[in-house]
């Protein structure tokens, strides 16, 4: 029972955190909010999640969680790869600028 309450507190906190926290991507915000709602529903009444699953055309709540989890993982990977690319591009720009500045300094010596 205690575990259940702990999870309820966690999901409620995540829900409000998702609403308040500024995200660079709206998808990340939506996933946190929807994920925490689904988590809460699964704790308070799994029949609701089953109904949602049937409503969206998925067989049962377990599969809905599985699909939701998979989509989240794929999105996370894509967003992370894009971030890495951005960081790499910035590092490349800085490295190139440093090399040109160094050559200018050497020429001025």
Per CB under 8 A, the segment of 29-37, 50-58, 61-69, 100-108 that binds another protein is 100-108
Closer residue to another protein in complex, CB, 47/93: 93
- Residue 85 burial (C-beta neighbours within 10 Å; 0-12, 13-18, 19+): exposed
Q: Which of 100, 105, 108, 109 binds another protein (CB under 8 A)?
A: 100
Per CB under 8 A, the segment of 21-29, 49-57, 70-78, 92-100 that binds another protein is 92-100
Per CB under 8 A, the segment of 42-50, 56-64, 72-80, 98-106 that binds another protein is 98-106
Tokens encoding 54: 């049937």
Q: Which of 99, 105, 108, 109 binds another protein (CB under 8 A)?
A: 99
DSSP secondary structure, the chain, as one string: -HHHHHHHHHHHHHHHHHHHS--S-HHHHHHHHHHHHHHHHHHH-HHHHHHHHHHTT-SSHHHHHHHHHHHHHHHHHHHHHHHHHHHHHHHHHHHHHHHHHHHHHHHH-
Q: Which of 39, 91, 105, 109 binds another protein (CB under 8 A)?
A: 91
Q: Which of 28, 102, 108, 109 binds another protein (CB under 8 A)?
A: 102
């Amino acid at each position: 029972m205690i575990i259940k309450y702990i999870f309820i507190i966690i999901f409620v906190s995540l829900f409000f955190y998702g609403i308040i926290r500024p995200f660079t991507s709206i998808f990340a915000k939506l996933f946190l909010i929807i994920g925490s709602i689904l988590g809460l529903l699964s704790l308070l009444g799994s029949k609701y999640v089953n109904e949602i699953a049937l409503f969206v055309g998925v067989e049962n709540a377990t599969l809905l969680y599985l699909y939701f989890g998979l989509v989240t993982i794929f999105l996370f990977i894509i967003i992370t790869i894009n971030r890495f690319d951005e960081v790499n591009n910035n590092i490349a720009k800085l490295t190139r600028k440093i090399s040109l500045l160094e050559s200018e300094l050497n020429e001025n010596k």
